[in-house]
Chains A and B, each alone.
Chain A
Amino acid sequence: MQILLVEDNALLNHHLTSQLSEDGHIVHAESTASAGLQTIRKQPCDVAIIDIGLPDFDGLRLIKQIRSGGLATPILILTARSSWQDKVEGLDAGADDYLVKPFQIEELKARLHALVRRSVGFTSPTVNAGNISVDLNAKTVSVDEQLISLTKFEYSILEHLIKNRQKVVSKQQLVDAMYKTSQDAQINSIEVIISRLRKKLAAVGHDSVISTIRGQGYLFELKVG
């Protein structure tokens, strides 16, 4: 998923970016509030991690500006101030959860997944569509409890389609979700990945789960519960 990270501490910024990228996420790392605001306006993200103490203006103001722009991206605030009043103010400004520094990376990842899951309407980390089961935390897909071997890109596209179930997802949207920058060659690679994904799902009895809507994009057909 696409993550906006706004953190001014270079070391923390670098290691968060590398650890989240290793998990297959696309991280847009910024160190100032104004740069963070510009990025999220250009590139809508699935979730944002915002530090409260930023050099140009504070994180609370950044959150208010994101919300006033009509963006509903879930926001996790990072704060070194442990007073409850700061946490209340952060959530009142429009954040969805908080994490006090120092934190464990596992805790951060769990919070991010919970926020994204909630934002797309899933209440549990395991999403079921018919006999297909997707574990959003473990990033695995199984059919009738049998794991299907998927590449990182295949899984990401399936997760994106499931999250946007019953909506047509364009190739460009998939490119945006998968890559930091958009190039023509990537559109072709999306087609290749979709084709491989369809084959793997057809092998377990789901040959028409991803339909092509001509001229528009793709649609995940199964009802998700």
Chain B
Amino acid sequence: MKNLVKSHFRRRVLFSSLVIVLSALSGLSYLASQQYQKSILLTFSADVLYQLPSVINEIRSSKALPDVNQWDDLYPHNSQEFGAFLCDLDDKLKWTSVPRYQRYVEEGQFDMCAFLPNSIPKPELFEDHQGHAYIAYEVLPRGNRYHGKQLLIVKNARQEVADLHRMHYRFTLLFIAMIVIVVYALYLAFKWSFSPVNKLIKEIEDVQHERKSALSQDYPLELKEAVGAINRLLRQSKQQETRYKDSMADLAHSLKTRIAASNLVLTDSSSDPLQSSMIISEQLNEMDQVVQYQLKRATMGAKGLTHYQTPLSETVDGFERMFAKIYQDKAIVLHRLFESDVALPIAKDDLSELLGNILENNYRYAQSTIVMSVYQHSSGSTITIDNDGPKLADEQLSAIFNRGVRADQINPGTGIGLAVCREIVQSYNGDIWFEQTVGECGTNLKIFLPVQE
């Protein structure tokens, strides 16, 4: 379960949000059920009050119980805060069950009939600014057909109002506490949910400050692809940087060596001028080869995140037209043993450089035929190019790509074409090699280009 949630970024966010929403809903449901329970009790109380006169009337009519006047002993009036008030049409107090209110009117302190409104069909709380607070309900409305006086049941609600204010205060505190808790819970949830993003930012900072060379792999599914892409870019950038540095170092070394040699030849007064000029020319030629090779080496190769799919036929068409023209005396036929829609996982420029060098060699050495085939499989594409020219000697095969030879040691005259091809293919994690065929002529050149990550 832990891994199931952690491995997906969306699940993390969803899970933490769900926990917060469920907690808040549970709290609210509890409060709502409590409130509902209270409201049922309140409704019952109001109903009881409302039904009370008819119940008393029915009791009286039934004569089954003694006259209510005799109930005084049974239900003596002992509450100073609860009582009945009878007000006439002029808001004058006619009678009250709490005698001190009669006194208040006489002393001019407080008049309940003037304080309460003329009609109170439902129990209601009435307050004023002097601190008076009463819950009142009229049992008989003003202007009734018996005697026209309003009969009120009134309770002094000072205590309740104080309780209510205390409750408001408590609720406010509770609400603030809830907000603080929810905000903190949200903060924790988001911190946990977005911890992979924070980790990513931290790791990128580490890479920027060279504390790390690559990002780790432990990320939710949604970020895995982005992390993989960043790692690929970092790897390519590192390789490119290494290639630039190597190219520049090799270039500087080889050029300086040859310039030093040329200087010596030029200043040597004892040497034959014709021989000197030949040596200088040879040095210039070698410098040219080294510059060409290093320039190509520094700029070529897989770049960025593009998944290249370059159509092969299009590139071969151009070269076939060109070489057929240049080598028209030989009337060479290029046989293509591949479908016209074959595409290879390599950038167009690199494919062009690769095929240009290889086909040029094939046209140069072939007698009449070149055969080019492509085999595509799940791991990549293998291109085979063969011609009916003379076979390469076995000992040449391993040395021809100048494997492990530093650029400034490239054997002059052998050209840089195949060394460049090897660099291009290797930048795509592929391979290039020769294979001897059975028979007298032809040496297969094979190139493997893997499917890109």
Give residues in A with beta carbon < 8 Å to B: 82-85, 87-88, 91-92, 96-98, 102, 104, 118, 123
Contacts and interface: CB of A to CB of B under 8 A. Distances in A.
Contacts of A85: 318, 349, 352
A87 B359 CA distance: 13
B284 A84 contact: no
Contacts of A102: 284, 288
Interface of B: 281, 284-285, 288, 292, 296, 318-319, 321-322, 325-326, 328-329, 349, 352-353, 355-356
A88 B325 contact: no
A102 B329 CA distance: 26
B328 A87 contact: no
Contacts of B353: 83-84
B356 A91 contact: no
Contact of A91 (B296, B321, B352, B355): B321
A85 B318 CA distance: 8
Contact of A92 (B296, B322, B328): B322
Contacts of B352: 83-85
B377 to A, nearest CB: 27
Contact of B321 (A84, A92, A96, A123): A92
B438 to A, nearest CB: 32
B201 to A, nearest CB: 41
B322 A82 contact: no
Nearest to A91: B322
Contact of A97 (B292, B319, B326, B356): B326
A104 B288 CA distance: 11
B356 A84 contact: yes
Q: Which of A91, A104, A123 has the most CB of B within 10 A?
A: A91
Give 3 nearest A-B pairs by CB, closest first: A84-B356, A88-B318, A91-B322
A96 B323 CA distance: 10
Contact of B319 (A84, A98, A104): A84
Given A84-B319, A84-B352, A85-B318, 12 more contacts: A82-B292, A84-B355, A88-B319, A88-B321, A88-B322, A91-B326, A96-B325, A102-B284, A104-B285, A118-B328, A118-B329, A123-B329
A87 B322 contact: yes
Contact of B325 (A83, A91, A104, A123): A91
Contacts of B319: 84, 88
A106 B178 CA distance: 92
A34 B284 CA distance: 33
